[in-house]
Amino acid sequence: MTARRDVDQRIADATLQLLRTRGPRGVTVEAVTARSGIAKTTIYRRYRDRREMLSAALERLTTTQPPGADTAPRDRLCWVIEHAVEAVDAGIGFGGFAALLTDEDPEFTEVFRSILAGQRAALEQVIEDSWPGVDAATLIDALVGAYTAERARTGSVADGWEVRLFELFWPVVER
């Protein structure tokens, strides 16, 4: 990895860590500097402002490759379940998710929703290609809602969550 990519990665990692734990208002250039150890001047050479820094970090979340055409339908549903919550689970965290729901930081909301649209479109395409007639948007919403409800109800997402969702939704998509 080149030095530039290493610095970019450290900035993105710090940005996402702060977003997950403190929400978007906790993501400032000063906070990223403190978390990453990267000088403020270096950050400003790469990003004009906080919005660009957030956008760059969030864009790293959308590199999901769809399953291959030869992937079995059961494995495709497992893939959809795993990736439907990826933007929250491995991305913005519940701090960012809460801010998204409350529109606490409209600038963040706008950036994240535009990035999320691309990710959702890829998931919807896999669902539509795999199970014609299944309402892809509603299926994704149900998966994300179940994930969020599990976290709200118990404080965490239990092991086996994906298996329980698969067992619930498999009969629906394979009808």
CATH number of domain containing 46: 1.10.10.60
Amino acid at site 132: P
Residue among 128, 111, 3, 97 at smallest CA distance from 58: 111
Residue 63 has pLDDT above 80, yes or no: no
Do 74 and 29 lie in a common domain? no
Answering whether pTM is above 0.75, one says yes
> Which residue segment(s) compose the domain that 16 sits in?
3-56
Do 38 and 81 lie in a common domain? no
Residue range 152-161, pLDDT digits in tens: 999 888 999 9
Residue range 28-62, pLDDT digits in tens: 999 999 999 999 999 999 999 988 998 888 887 76
Domain count, the chain: 2
CA 123 – CA 152 distance, rounded (Å): 24
- Count of CA atoms in the C-beta half-sphere (13 A) of 102: 11
Do 49 and 74 lie in a common domain? no
